[in-house]
């Protein structure tokens, strides 16, 4: 979301004449280095990008997130007007729409300053104020994201309860020899995971969380994918090393 974003509740009267131009390159995410993800998309995204828990701030819990680059404002999956991955996080797909929860109801918001909003685009509302197919598609994405983020929070809470999250640091070495390290990342502590009792593993399996644990661990291989994508940039990464603390 850009600095000049203006989020306002979507209203069929106020926004009757808005149209939307689809951008399959997702240019709005060009400076997003990480995004929160829904638990339901963990499996598909883990085969495309690293999945970690980002340490929270101000007493907030860690957030299940996909890493898109080697810096907070670097999205390596957006390049030359194309999306370079086979999967796209719902958080990115659902733009320019967002949501907030009020009294247990999801309120749909729209960024009125989004570049993809154009009267020449597909209309959001019909003449009678009903949602058009374009808007219905986004409403479905927001519904998936809203429910999925709640499941992500429950997943992270369970990992914390079982003491399965540990810090990792990723050191990147550029082609020029300079290094920088990514901090604030949490992943599965594999030795502790391997020591879990059988009944806990069964419970995790029945809840679907065991799949999520395996997906997170396997997704760390996708740091190599980020290295490959960085070759398209002015500052390519030559190699990385992952240290599990």
Mean pLDDT of 83-92: 96
Count CB atoms within 10 A of the CB of residue 80.
7
Average predicted confidence (pLDDT) for the chain: 93
Is residue 139, in this structure, part of any structural domain at all?
yes
Domain that holds residue 208: 7-240
User: pLDDT tens for residues 189-208?
Assistant: 999 999 999 999 999 999 99
Is residue 80, in this structure, part of any structural domain at all?
yes
Mean pLDDT of 34-63: 94
DSSP state of 22: -
C-alpha to C-alpha distance for 30 and 74, rounded to whole angstroms: 7
Please tell me whether residue 180 adopts helix, strand or coil conformation: strand
User: pLDDT tens for residues 157-167?
Assistant: 999 999 999 99
C-alpha to C-alpha distance for 114 and 205, rounded to whole angstroms: 41
DSSP state of 131: B
Is residue 1, in this structure, part of any structural domain at all?
no
**Total structural domains in the chain?**
1
Is residue 179, in this structure, part of any structural domain at all?
yes
Is residue 2, in this structure, part of any structural domain at all?
no
- Of 237, 194, 240, 187, the C-alpha closest to 212 is 187
Is residue 245, in this structure, part of any structural domain at all?
no
pLDDT above 80: residue 148: yes
Q: Return the bridge partners of 54, or none.
A: 63, 185
Least confident of 105-109, 139-143, 220-224, 225-229: 105-109
pLDDT above 60: residue 3: no
Task: At 24, list the tokens.
Answer: 């399959």
């Amino acid at each position: 979301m850009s600095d000049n974003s203006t989020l306002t509740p979507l209203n069929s009267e106020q926004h009757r004449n808005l149209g939307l131009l689809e951008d399959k390159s997702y240019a709005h995410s060009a400076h997003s280095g990480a995004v929160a993800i829904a638990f339901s998309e963990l499996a598909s995204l883990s085969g495309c990008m690293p999945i970690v828990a980002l340490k929270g701030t101000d007493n907030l819990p860690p957030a299940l997130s996909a890493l898109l680059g080697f810096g907070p404002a670097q999205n390596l999956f957006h390049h030359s007007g194309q999306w370079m991955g086979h999967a796209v996080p719902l958080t990115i797909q659902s733009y320019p729409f967002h949501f907030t929860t009020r009294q247990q109801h999801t309120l749909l918001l729209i960024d009125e300053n989004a570049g993809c909003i154009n009267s020449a685009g597909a209309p959001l509302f019909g003449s009678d104020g009903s949602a058009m197919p374009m808007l219905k598609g986004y409403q479905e994405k927001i519904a998936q994201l809203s429910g999925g983020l709640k499941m992500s929070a429950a997943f992270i809470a369970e990992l914390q309860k079982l003491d399965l999250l540990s810090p990792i640091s990723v050191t990147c070495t550029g082609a020029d020899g300079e290094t920088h390290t990514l901090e604030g990342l949490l992943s599965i502590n594999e030795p502790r995971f391997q020591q879990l009792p059988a009944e806990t593993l069964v419970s995790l399996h029945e809840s679907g969380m065991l799949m999520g644990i395996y997906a997170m661990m396997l997704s760390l291989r996708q740091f190599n994918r980020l290295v490959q994508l960085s070759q398209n940039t002015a500052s390519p990464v030559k190699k990385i090393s992952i240290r599990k603390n």
